[in-house]
Amino acid sequence: MDALLEVREVTKAFDGLVALSGVSLRVRPGQIKALIGPNGAGKTTLFHIIAASLAPTSGDVVFAGRSLVGLPAHRVARLGIARTFQNVQVFPGMTVLEHVLVGLHQQAPASLLSAALRTPALRRAERRLREEAWALVRRLDLEAWAEVPAEVVPFGLLRRVELARALATRPRLLLLDEPGSGLNPAEKQALASELRRARDEGVTVFLVEHDMSMVMELADEVEVLDQGQLIAEGPPAEVQRDPRVVAAYLGEEDGA
Amino acid sequence: MADRRATPELVGQRVAAAIPTPRPAARRLPPAALLLVGAVALLVLAGRRLGYGLAEYAQLLVDGLATGSVYALVALGFVVVYRVSGVINFAQGAFVMLGPMLCISLLGPLPDTAAGLLLAALVATAACAASGALLHRLALHPLRDAAPLARIIVTVGAYVSIQGIALKVWGPRPYVLPAFTTLSMADRLVDVGGVVVQAQSLWVWGTALVTFAALGAFFEGTVAGKAMRACAVNRTAARLVGIQVDRMGTLAFALAATLGAVGGIVLAPSTRPTFDMGLELGLKGFVASIAGGLVSFPGAVAGGIALGVLESLWAGVVLAGFKDLFAFAMLVILLLTFPRSRAASEESA
Amino acid sequence: MTARLRSPWTAVPCAVAVVAVLDLVEPFGVRLGHLTGGLLTADLAVRAGLFTIVLVGLNLLMGYAGQASLGQAAFYGMGAFASAILTVRAHVLGIPPEVVSAWWWPWVVMAAAACAVAGFAWVVGWVILRLRGHYLAMATLGLGIMVYIVLRENLGMPHLNLTGGFDGIVGVPRLRLGSAALWPVGVYLLVVWAAALACVALGENVVHSPAGRALRAIHGSEAAAESVGVDVGALKARIFALSAGLASVAGSLYAHFQAAVVPDTFGFVPSLELVVMSAVGGMRTVWGAPLGATVVLLLEQLLRTHLLGLVPAVSGELEPVVFGVLLILLMRFRPSGLVQAAPAP
């Protein structure tokens, strides 16, 4: 089966410190894939490399048949990869609705000239964007917060704002870096059903997550990263029983 | 699932992420060093076309060494302040101007002797140190948690205020500070194998060397010096072991002002100080500190001397009015090749 | 975004701006300048209008996109010198006198200069806007001083004496529209403020457009802006170019107003003055531009005409000291505008 995203032999070293060594994995279209592993295993680094905000030391990342290495991050976004961040990245001073509108940037006329002159075409486009943004805000249950600046929004909702902003780009692949961290169980439930809905609408989801029960329930497939190397992959139930995975996780229990 | 294995690498990564540790300058230097080599090559080529011989180059080199030493002193002030308090102190140039100006004013009532000059210079330097400390307490200390740009703007504001006051007090005309030895007026020259050395240049080099040594001794040998170095490495840890970080900041500003004042005073006999001399010297000291990596003392000295020499060579082969262009072109180019200055595409990476 | 407008601090500049705008009516007989004891003059109002144009660009750049510029006066100077050179010293460049004396020529020069300066800033912006925080501030400062030196040193071509060196250029003609001169000063005042308010309107449009949202997003988080497909580098370069183009237009209008240009008007301190105005008015509002320009110029004028008389011993001008102190106090007590303009590295 053709992979939507393929990571080929990616190695990343920071000043000689190897964060990832020879990582290869495939994400098939329409699946929810989870990447797990102990802290410092290199999960976030891998995500940064996929989103092209970091360059790999060696190796290649191929998305829909096209190499992403060397592309600027915004081009990768335009190819259909949207992401959320481990440390929530919001725009202070901008409302939740505006966050979603920024997510719709690719469909917006970006010319400064038409912006300055406020041309009728721009006004029409702006009206359409606002409708679309409102629809997304409603879909993610953020209506009550839509006109509120992001810095006032509770943390749990900010993750949802990030998700709304990412979905607004109409991605083919959604990269979520610890989307459940800092959320309460109810919020995690809501997030999980939102991700399933996105998947059902054709979005492929690749996420880093710590909450194993959430991974078990949500993911179609799991990859396990430990100390920069993939040590296991497969359906969640299988991976959970894998002795290497148990060792990687239990080892730490002993050592702690 | 618990996820809290504490491997040494992990701890290292966390610490590295939490502390903006100044990296050794050496690793940062190659682009700047390459640039300097390129600049020298260009200048030598240009000089060739103008028919410059070895003697002319030696002369330009000697002239450049003197101004370069002053740039180095000013640059050290930038480094001290940046390392201890994380501020780029634009008011540094103000002390380079205040030093000689105060010195000249103090000379008025004092006897016209070497002792009088020394006394005036010492008092002027002390006054600058005090104003440096005051600047930190009044203007920067209250903003210690503000964004870097706000703090820089404050130092720029301080610079402009001090220069404005200087204009009030001393007016726009240039002043004259007599050379340090009556034996050698500033225009008294020493001929060394066809290369003319101003006697004052010898004073500049001597003072610079003594100052570098004293600074080294201060950081290596005194408790305050060691405490300042600790602040530079990690402010939080320094606070935890009982170092009064804020006082170290004040001390750093005083020290930087001292370095600036010393540089200004030794330079003054050969330049005729004016109220606005600080802008140029301050900015050039900053360029020198950037050339040295902004966190390294030896780097700042090397950067200052390199800038002085290159600028002198440049001024020798281009229009005199374009002399200052070099430093600012270097500033922009060095900033662009200076890795710390780039926007990190992802902080948490 | 509207928070600053609602703050009680801005009530003062608002009131002053209203008075300044009322001064526009001067040519029709109401002499507000006289009522304020010579404080509010037409000259001051014209300069406030010119700075408004510059500040609209600067606010978009610093307040919205979060990119510091400590060298904005350079673009202002490039526009001013382009207009002065191409109207007064055009013969040196071999431009026929009948073209130069045509009424439309200064307007063509103004437009061409704005495009050229914007193009220059765009190219430079691609390179230096990769710098962050205070490094960008330093680089723009260095750039500003370089431009100043080049202007002062006759563009490196002393034999042509295009910029007139330290002394600059005198005798820049007044603007005309057809056969009608845009003078006396009251008429020019209307022209400048019409342009200034048009710029404020354009700025407001930009802020409330998709591009404006993307600018503010860059300010908040470049990584997140990129992640939704905003071409951060291109957008920064374009807004830098726009701000430079606006500064250039203001510079041209200044040259035709002052009739003389000298390099010292466009050096480091004027760049700083612009930042002060921007911060005083409120960087993150387009309407802060006219407010900041007016208030700072009024303060200056107040010092010169009223306070200086109280201290007889002083020579020279006090403004730099006041600017410096104002900056420090502003950062100390009202840092929000600027602090947010540069996300901590």
Q: What pLDDT, in 10s, does the model give residues C52-101?
A: 999 999 999 998 998 889 899 999 999 999 999 999 999 999 999 999 99
Coil, strand or helix at A85 = coil
Q: Which position has the higher pLDDT, C75 or C19? A: C75
Q: How many CA atoms are closer than 13 Å to the CA of B276, on its beta-carbon side?
A: 7
Pairwise CA distance, residues B248 & B230, whole Å: 10
| Residue of A50, A68, A78, A112 to mutate when probing chain C, most C C-beta within 10 A | A112
Residue B98 φ/ψ, nearest 5 degrees? -60, -40
Q: Do A38 and B5 touch (CB under 8 A)?
A: yes
Q: What is the mean pLDDT of residues B331-341?
A: 76
Q: Is C213 exposed, middle or buried (0-12, 13-18, 19+ CB in 10 A)?
A: buried
The pLDDT of residue C11 = 54
The pLDDT of residue B342 = 55
Which residues from A are below 8 Å from C220, CB to CB?
89-94
Instruction: Name the domain count of chain B.
Output: 1
Q: Do C133 and B149 touch (CB under 8 A)?
A: yes
The pLDDT of residue C24 = 57
Q: Do B5 and A39 touch (CB under 8 A)?
A: yes
Pairwise CA distance, residues B292 & B76, whole Å: 10
Q: Which of B194-208, C144-158, C230-244 has the highest mean pLDDT?
A: C230-244
Q: How many CB atoms lie within 10 A of CB B130?
A: 13
AA identity, residue C29 = G
Contacts of B98 (CB under 8 A, 6+ apart): B124, B127, B128, B131, B162, B166, B261, B264, B278
Chains A & C: contacts with CB separation below 8 Å: 117
* C-alpha dist (Å) from residue C299 to B153, C46, C73: 20, 15, 20
Query: Which range among B110-114, B332-336, C337-341 shows the weakest confidence by mean pLDDT?
Result: C337-341
The pLDDT of residue B339 = 63
**Chain A: residue nearest C237 by CA?**
A112
Nearest to B13 among A40, A53, A210 (CB): A40
Strand-pair partners of A233: A223
Q: Which position has the higher pLDDT, B188 or B309? A: B309
Check whether C117 has a pLDDT greater than 60: yes
The pLDDT of residue C4 = 41
Q: Which position has the higher pLDDT, B43 or C73? A: C73
Rg, Å, chain C Cα set: 20
Rg, Å, chain A Cα set: 19
AA identity, residue B284 = K
CATH topology of domain C3-341: ABC transporter involved in vitamin B12 uptake, BtuC (1.10.3470)
The pLDDT of residue C307 = 64
* pLDDT digits 0-9 by tens, C145-158: 999 999 998 888 88
Q: Do B5 and A17 touch (CB under 8 A)?
A: no
Domain boundaries, chain C: 3-341
**pLDDT tier at C325 (50, 70, 90 boundaries)?**
confident
The pLDDT of residue A173 = 96
**pLDDT tier at C14 (50, 70, 90 boundaries)?**
low
A193 touches chain C (CB under 8 A): no
Pairwise CA distance, residues C339 & B122, whole Å: 38
Check whether A254 has a pLDDT greater than 50: no
Residue B3, domain member (yes or no) = no
Q: What is the mean pLDDT of residues C23-51?
A: 69
* pLDDT digits 0-9 by tens, C199-221: 999 998 999 899 999 999 999 89
The pLDDT of residue C27 = 47
Which residues, numbered 2 to 41 in chain B, qualify as contacts with chain A under a Cβ-Cβ cut-off of 8 Å?
A: 2-7, 9-10, 13
Check whether B93 has a pLDDT greater than 90: yes
Pairwise CA distance, residues A82 & A94, whole Å: 20
Check whether C283 has a pLDDT greater than 70: yes
Q: Are A155 and A88 in contact (CB under 8 A)?
A: yes
A83 touches chain C (CB under 8 A): yes
Q: Do C141 and B283 touch (CB under 8 A)?
A: yes
Q: Do B324 and C145 touch (CB under 8 A)?
A: yes
* pLDDT digits 0-9 by tens, A128-155: 999 999 999 999 999 999 999 998 899 8
Residue B270, domain member (yes or no) = yes
Query: Which range among B298-302, B342-346, C138-142, C272-276 shows the weakest confidence by mean pLDDT?
Result: B342-346
Q: Do C213 and A51 touch (CB under 8 A)?
A: no
Q: How far is A171 from chain C (nearest CA, A)?
A: 9
The pLDDT of residue C311 = 59
**pLDDT tier at B26 (50, 70, 90 boundaries)?**
very low
* pLDDT digits 0-9 by tens, B247-280: 899 999 999 999 999 999 999 888 889 998 998 8
Task: Provide ipTM, 2 decimals.
Answer: 0.91
Q: Are B200 and B180 in contact (CB under 8 A)?
A: yes
Q: Which position has the higher pLDDT, A99 or B45? A: A99
* C-alpha dist (Å) from residue B17 to A40, A234, B20, B206: 12, 33, 7, 42
Nearest to B171 among C137, C272, C315 (CB): C315
We report the CATH number of the domain holding residue B141 as: 1.10.3470
Which residues from A are below 8 Å from B2, CB to CB?
249, 252-253, 256
Pairwise CA distance, residues C295 & C278, whole Å: 11
The pLDDT of residue B343 = 46
Q: Are B100 and B74 in contact (CB under 8 A)?
A: no
Which residues from B are below 8 Å from A249, CB to CB?
1-3
The angle formed by the CA atoms of residues B271, B275 and B279, to the nearest 5 degrees, is 80
**pLDDT tier at B75 (50, 70, 90 boundaries)?**
very high
Query: Dihedral sign, CA of B21, B26, B27, B32?
Result: positive
Place of tokens 């050592």: A255
The pLDDT of residue C288 = 80
Q: Are C344 and B150 in contact (CB under 8 A)?
A: no
| Residue of B82, B85, B154, B160 to mutate when probing chain C, most C C-beta within 10 A | B160
Using the CB atoms, write b or e for C157-178: b if 16+ within 10 Å: eeeeebbbbeebbeebbebbee
Which residues from C are below 8 Å from B333, CB to CB?
none
Residue B249, domain member (yes or no) = yes
pTM of the model: 0.84
Pairwise CA distance, residues A123 & B339, whole Å: 42
Domain boundaries, chain A: 1-80+171-256, 93-170
Which residues from B are below 8 Å from C157, CB to CB?
none
The pLDDT of residue B291 = 81
Nearest to A252 among B5, B348, B349 (CB): B5
Pairwise CA distance, residues B280 & B322, whole Å: 13
Distinct helix (H) and strand (E) counts, chain C: 16, 4
* pLDDT digits 0-9 by tens, B294-315: 888 888 898 899 899 888 888 8
Check whether B185 has a pLDDT greater than 70: no
Secondary element (H or E) of residue A177:
strand A173-177
The pLDDT of residue C33 = 56
Q: What is the mean pLDDT of residues B74-101?
A: 91
Which residues from B are below 8 Å from C131, CB to CB?
335-336, 341-343
Contacts of A15 (CB under 8 A, 6+ apart): none
Question: Per the omega criterion (within 30 degrees of 0), is the bond before A72 cis?
Answer: no
* pLDDT digits 0-9 by tens, B202-235: 888 999 999 999 998 998 888 888 888 888 777 7
* C-alpha dist (Å) from residue C227 to A33, A52, A168, A197, C214: 20, 10, 11, 22, 12
Q: How far is B346 from chain A (nearest CA, A)?
A: 6
The pLDDT of residue B323 = 79
Coil, strand or helix at A62 = strand
Chains A & B: contacts with CB separation below 8 Å: 47
Pairwise CA distance, residues A85 & C108, whole Å: 50
A132 touches chain C (CB under 8 A): no
A97 touches chain C (CB under 8 A): no
The pLDDT of residue B244 = 84
Check whether A64 has a pLDDT greater than 80: yes
Q: How far is A44 from chain B (nearest CA, A)?
A: 7
* C-alpha dist (Å) from residue C26 to C47, C106, C187, C299, C305: 16, 26, 10, 21, 21
**Chain C: residue nearest A104 by CA?**
C228
* C-alpha dist (Å) from residue A22 to A13, A221, C190, C254: 11, 20, 69, 62
Pairwise CA distance, residues B299 & B64, whole Å: 17
The pLDDT of residue C342 = 30
**Chain C: residue nearest B321 by CA?**
C153
| Residue of B156, B173, B314, B334 to mutate when probing chain C, most C C-beta within 10 A | B156
CATH topology of domain A1-80+171-256: Rossmann fold (3.40.50)
Pairwise CA distance, residues B121 & B127, whole Å: 10
Residue B51 φ/ψ, nearest 5 degrees? 75, 35
Which residues from C are below 8 Å from B147, CB to CB?
133, 335, 338-344
Q: Which position has the higher pLDDT, B184 or C310? A: C310
| Residue of B163, B283, B289, B332 to mutate when probing chain C, most C C-beta within 10 A | B332
A91 touches chain C (CB under 8 A): yes
Both tokens of B135, joined, read 């600047």
Q: How far is A171 from chain B (nearest CA, A)?
A: 21
Residue B251, domain member (yes or no) = yes
User: What DSSP character marks residue C64?
Assistant: I
Contacts of C198 (CB under 8 A, 6+ apart): none
* pLDDT digits 0-9 by tens, A188-237: 999 999 999 999 999 999 999 888 888 888 999 999 998 889 988 999 88
Residue B206 φ/ψ, nearest 5 degrees? -60, -50
Q: Do C139 and B335 touch (CB under 8 A)?
A: yes
Range(s) of the domain holding residue B202: 26-43+53-339
Q: What is the mean pLDDT of residues B325-339?
A: 81
Check whether C5 has a pLDDT greater than 70: no
